[in-house]
Amino acid sequence: MPLGKFPILFLLVALAALSAAVFGALHNQLSYSVGPDYFVSFKFPQFGIPEGTSPRFGAAQVGVLASWWMGAIVGLPAFLFGLLTVPNARSYLAAGIGAIGLVLVLATFSALAGLVGGIAAEATGILDGYLTPPAGIDRTDFLRAGFMHDASYLGGALGALLAFWPMRRARVIDMARA
């Protein structure tokens, strides 16, 4: 018996949240490598990571806590659009998985662009008059990891718009088959 489209909506939202959580954990492994003090002095206290926690594990925890919800929020509009417009449940599921993948790729490239931006801002000092790290946080770490962090959120937000594309494409294909 084929699964209806409505349960697929819940599955897609759960997959998007899980994908975002894994992305956050992995993303923070790289951003911890380029800016450990950003985590130790800023993010760990912000997220209540206990002292004595392995820094890598703490960074992964911060990544999960900071991003799981973003997957659900980013995917939900496109998933609802697909629920209402894509006729075939199998096409809807495939388009939803494609939308999640598209957002992950975009967030990854955005994070890497953010790292490049952070390195450039640190090297040139161009934003020193506008952006000051909180007291006690290494400037270099703050710029590199902070730019990566913010850029990945921007990539995810842009992904919310681009996630409609696989849904629209699935709709067009299904309508052509009918």
The band of 40, judged by pLDDT with boundaries at 50, 70 and 90, is: very high
Reference 62, options 24, 17, 15; nearest CA is 24
Indicate whether 2 pLDDT > 80.
no
User: pLDDT band at residue 1, thresholds of 50, 70 and 90?
Assistant: very low
**Lowest-confidence range among 2-6, 99-103, 152-156?**
2-6
Q: Which domain holds residue 152?
A: 5-177
> How far is the C-alpha of 27 from the C-alpha of 24, rounded, in Å?
5
Instruction: Calculate mean pLDDT across residues 135-162.
Output: 94
Domain count of the chain? 1
Question: What six digits make up the tokens of 85?
Answer: 């417009």
Q: Find the range with the poorest average confidence among 8-12, 40-44, 101-105, 126-130.
A: 126-130
pLDDT at 132: 84
CB atoms near residue 71 (< 10 Å):
28
Local confidence band at 3 (pLDDT 50, 70, 90 cut-offs): low
pLDDT band (50, 70, 90) for residue 77: very high
Q: Residue 134 has what pLDDT? A: 85
**CA–CA distance, 82 with 89 (Å, rounded to integer):** 9
**40 φ, ψ (degrees, to nearest 5):** -60, -45
In percent, how much of the chain has pLDDT > 70? Answer: 98
CA 118 to each of CA 25, 61, 100, 101, 102: distance values in angstroms, whole numbers, following the listed order: 20, 23, 26, 26, 24
